[in-house]
Amino acid sequence: MSLNKQNIPTRNDIRNLAIIAHVDHGKTTLVDTMLQQANTFRANQEVRERVMDSMDLERERGITIMAKNAALRLPEEFSDHGTPIKINIIDTPGHSDFGGEVERVLKMADGVLLLVDAAEGCLPQTRFVLSKALESNLAPIIVVNKIDRSDARPQAVLNEIYDLFIDLDANEDQLDFPVIYAVGRDGIAKNELDDESTDLAPLFRAIIDHVPPPRADPNAPLQMLVTNIDYNDYVGRLAIGRLIRGEIRIGQDAVVCKLDGTQQKFRVTQLFGFEGLKREPIEAAQAGDIVGIAGIEGINIGETIADAEHPQALPPIVVDEPTIAMLFSSNTSPFAGRDGKFVTGRHIRDRLAKEALANVAIRIEPTDDPDAFRVAGRGELQLAIIIETMRREGYELQISKPEVVTRHDENGQLLEPIEQVFVDCPEQFIGVVTEALGRRKGTMMRMSNHGSGRVRLEFEVPSRGLIGFRGEFLTDTKGMGLLNTLFARFQPWMGPIPQRPNGALVADRAGAVTAYAIGNLQERGVIFVEPTLAVYEGMIIGENSRENDLNVNIVKEKHLTNIRSSTSDIATRLVPPLVMSLEQSLEFLNDDELVEATPKAIRIRKKILQAGKRPK
């Protein structure tokens, strides 16, 4: 331990490093080889194929949903003036319905490793997280990875990275970043492209030399900021965070400084450190360490764990408020139970209760209907991910139109949530984006254009206005725009925002969809279904081009008496259906409609299935 300028001790035995990478640029592989070379895998420890991101959904959507921790201990030859070194690796979420989570997990780090594929270069999805890391003043290290690729262009990619840093207003020190060239898969890192190297030593060196060691006083009273919550069936809720000062040990009395200002005493009974990809029970930890503490009733993100004698709260971090709610209920469609394993209201309730333990950003409330639950979360994407996970686990459920979470102020005035919206897009799209958000009651707050061809725009938009916006935004920006949101505050209701202008095409009877019927109806609007698909009365099979709903016979067979053209003739003229994803379906919904999600199908339906019973 050494003393720095302000006389706060520095822990030379630790480096806390956040890692940012676009999906597929080799983060998992690199962390694996780092762990292997650091000998963190013990012979008897099972090596999972994918260490950092294990959720299939993350892969598909190209995002990391939950930030995770790993740690490695460097071999003896890497030491800081003789002190052996542990590197804590903090994975960052690549997406931001989880914007708040990005800022939070970065609080555990002193440096950030940006991993970029030597052929693909910097992809825009990492810009938001990188900008937050630079704002937080973390020391960056660049790894240009996969230099073995035949199409690698490391020099050009490095130039792009410089441009990106300038575009993101990096300061002089940050622009002076060290660069490592790597073949993560083979466990090789180099300082210069033509260096000879057989291991990751240059990367380990760069981390030791450029990531500042934690500055923290182990002799001061304990303070730890809870920046993440994890959950597992054995230990329950685990509060994860970095010890800001002091020491924590098993058996010690401590307090939680709660967000509401109260204090809650507890005794430390279960303490974990990170080793490799696992949590391991430990006896004690000191300032600068990242730890997990289990067994604290009701602990929440943003709260401080403090010394019992000197309980001092750290500035709280605000967890993004739930802004969007949907009703989840048991499936009541005529096809209910056809392909799900878990179909009752109780199944859904138990599953949601479990979700709420692990997922701090959602809230679950019962309703008057014992089979329906109100689930509030951060945006549609987060809720869609829960639904998608449940489907894959074998659940069936139906979901109502996403609604904004509102509250009232002390004078009874209606308040609604407002978001900060960060748009990053090629400059030719400024007009369409501004106009689209304007219609949704958005106000532009800032625009920065460093002449790189891309601009960054910041808006304030009611959460309500963002429902369904993501899809529109991607279309408007031809897939080149990036959208991140961060909860800002509640403010007075901003008045009506135009809804879906079009009505639905609704099946008026059960049966199998025919090509003939589609051929007759496709001029009326956009068809969502394919021939032979089974439908029921009240199921929505398309969007009407007019504003009213239209009940249609989508299972109509061609009568032999009115043959005008051959079947094949009609078949060739069928417009391909618009197959709606879960998110698109949720965005499409009106108040009197539901999404039905089962392991095999996503359907949209009217709440009232029989045409005759629906209000005209």
- Interface residues with ligand GDP (CB under 6 A)? 21, 23-29, 145-146, 148-149, 183-185
Considering the complex, state which of residue 113 and residue 327 has its C-beta at the smaller distance from ligand GDP: 113
- Least distance (Å) between residue 199 CB and ligand GDP: 13
Q: Quote the least distance from Cβ 547 to ligand GDP, whole Å.
A: 44
Within 10 angstroms of residue 417's Cβ, the number of other Cβ atoms is: 22
* Least distance between ligand GDP and beta carbon 114 (Å): 12
Rounded to a whole number of angstroms, the minimum distance from the CB of residue 36 to ligand GDP is: 13
| CB closer to ligand GDP out of 149 and 614 | 149
Those residues whose C-beta lies under 8 Å from the C-beta of residue 168, and which sit 6 or more positions away, are 127, 130, 131, 134
- The nearest distance, CB 71 to ligand GDP, in angstroms, is 18
Q: Give me the least distance between CB of 34 and ligand GDP, in Å please.
A: 12
DSSP annotation of 125 reads: G
Q: Which is nearer to ligand GDP, 23 or 271 (CB)?
A: 23
Rounded-to-integer distance, Cα 83 and Cα 480, Å: 47
Strands 236-245 and 278-281: unpaired
> Which CB atom, from 11 or from 27, has the smaller least distance to ligand GDP?
27
* Residues 366 and 307: beta-carbon distance below 8 Å: no
Minimum CB distance to ligand GDP smaller for 147 or for 255: 147
C-beta atoms surrounding 467 within 10 Å: 22
Distance between CA atoms of residues 467 and 331, nearest Å: 24
Nearer to ligand GDP, 148 or 199 (CB): 148
Could you give the CA distance from residue 400 to residue 592 in angstroms, rounded to a whole number?
8
Q: How many other C-beta atoms are found inside a 10 Å radius of the C-beta of residue 557? A: 11
DSSP structural state of residue 413: -
The distance of closest approach from Cβ of residue 151 to ligand GDP in the complex, given in angstroms and rounded to an integer, is 10
Which whole-number Å values give the CA distances from 6 to 16, 155, 220, 412, 482, in the listed order? 20, 40, 15, 50, 41
Residues contacting residue 132 through CB under 8 Å, at least 6 positions apart: 102, 103, 106
Q: For the chain, how far is it from start to end, CA to CA, in angstroms?
A: 77
Q: Name residue 425's amino acid.
A: C
Question: What is the three-class DSSP state of 2?
Answer: strand
Residue number, 185 or 558, with CB nearest to ligand GDP: 185
Classify 479 as helix, strand or coil.
coil
Q: Tell me phi and psi for residue 196, to 5 degrees.
A: -90, 135
Query: For ligand GDP, which is the closer residue by CB, 21 or 319?
Result: 21
Residue nearer to ligand GDP on the CB measure, 129 or 293:
129
Least Å distance, CB 200 to ligand GDP, is 11
Phi, psi of 565, deg, nearest 5: -135, 160
Q: CB 242 → ligand GDP: shortest distance, Å?
A: 24
Task: Look up residue 217 and give its amino acid.
Answer: D
Tokens 């009701």 belong to residue: 298
Give dist(CA 546, CA 342) in Å, integer: 38
Minimum CB–partner distance for residue 185 and ligand GDP (Å): 4
Alpha carbon of residue 211 to chain centroid = 26
Question: Which residue lies nearer to ligand GDP by CB, 29 or 323?
Answer: 29
Q: Is 571 helix (H, G, I), strand (E, B) or coil?
A: helix
